[in-house]
Amino acid sequence: MPGETKRKYIVELIRLNKLLKRPLDLIYEVLPYNYDKNTILDLFKELYPFEWETIVQRYKYYKEKDNFLKSKGKKKRYHPQKPEEYFFDLQKVKYLTSSGKKLQHKKNYDTKKQIEQLYILREKRKNSIEKKRKKIAKVKEKIQSVEPLYIDIFINEYYRKGITTEGKIEILKELQKYESEKNIKFFYKINDSEKNNQIRRIAFDHLQKIGKYVKLRKNFKGKQKNYMIEKSDFFMKPDDLYERIKNNSIQNKKVYDYFISHSLLDDEIVKNIQKSLNDLNYNVYCDWMSDNDFLKREYISEYTTLVLKKRIEQSKNILFIQTSNTTDENNNLRSPWIQMELEYAKALNKNIVCIDLLQQHKCEFEVLEYDHEKNILVI
């Protein structure tokens, strides 16, 4: 097995080397009159940032694998080169920096042509880079950049003896809502070692969508046990979540710093506020982000109300976002949902704070400042 694993590593390395040839050919066409390997590297980082990030992440990935083997008293297997060393050791880079190639470049050098081609390449790459950044940012819109304490509980539950495929999928879906170092390592581990095809694919897809270096593992060869091919559609409704919370499952272990009471019409404001709170290391509850797998709007029922009340109980503070979408000109709440949330929070003596974006009205709760220019919450 170690020999086979090492061969796969080498094949992957060869494939990566080939993928980098085209970008390096394009970079050669826009190099200045005098250049060296560092000039090529700087342009590569500028014009192909995601490819460079792949090299960096790949190094970290295999470095950690070697460190793990060493910690178990085994020999290192991969010995990955540091990113810069790997780049400079590419045959293509060595060829481009050879004395003969540099001399040929100088003989054919045309300043005007180089400037024009560099501009064209930068514009082309700028569009590609921006497109990919937006794609990743879209995926991350509902992901919180904090590490709640209960993540350890979820991970331990994943490895509990007797846990079902559905149970594992639920845990993965919950952990997908957070981005932290511990989370990323867990998803890498699942992608590497999980034998269930569906679960392993969920881990791979998540890492790939958030821009992480990851390789898709093939299905295990040989006779497959039922567990390996077992699947779950994980179709859930509000009553399923309520039962989970009530029955002391992982859903009952959650704790939030802030429960956001808001109008869905203010979704962009909510996203900005969540980011601000995450920057302060606060974990936030927002129904359409935190419980999106269960609280489907087409299945709104009494259980939706019961779930929201449970989440308020699990939250330390309630944050009411007061806008024209939540409050009318007479300062009355427009939404019965917000009315219910605030009244229930009051009954529990929860700390309620308000972001008053109406300006002409005064919120009855403690008011937090919101910077409109920077779109951030000031605490």
Catalytic residues: 341
CA distances from 274 to 84, 146, 194, 319, 337 (A): 37, 11, 32, 11, 20
Query: How far is 255 from 148, CA to CA, in rounded Å?
Result: 8
Task: Tell me the DSSP string of 29-49.
Answer: TT--SS--HHHHHHHHHHH-H
CA distances from 146 to 109, 134, 138, 251, 279 (A): 51, 21, 18, 18, 8
Please give the span between the terminal C-alpha atoms of the chain, in angstroms, as a whole number.
54
Among residues 158, 170, 144, 169, the alpha carbon closest in space to that of 230 is found at 169
Among residues 299, 252, 258, the alpha carbon closest in space to that of 282 is found at 258
3-state secondary structure (DSSP) of residue 199: helix
Name every residue whose Cβ is closer than 8 Å to that of residue 295 and which is 6 or more positions away in sequence.
238, 241, 287, 288, 304, 307
Residue type, 172: L
Among residues 252, 257, 250, 241, the alpha carbon closest in space to that of 146 is found at 257
Under a CB-based contact definition with an 8 Å cutoff, are residues 326 and 342 in contact?
no
In this structure, the dihedral spanned by the alpha carbons of residues 108, 112, 113 and 116, taken in order and rounded to 10 degrees, is 150
Backbone φ and ψ for 80, nearest 5 degrees, come out as -65, 145
Residue with tokens 């170690």: 2
Query: How far is 366 from 353, CA to CA, in rounded Å?
Result: 5
CA distances from 30 to 17, 120, 259 (A): 21, 10, 53
| CB burial of residue 200 (10 Å; 0-12, 13-18, 19+) | buried
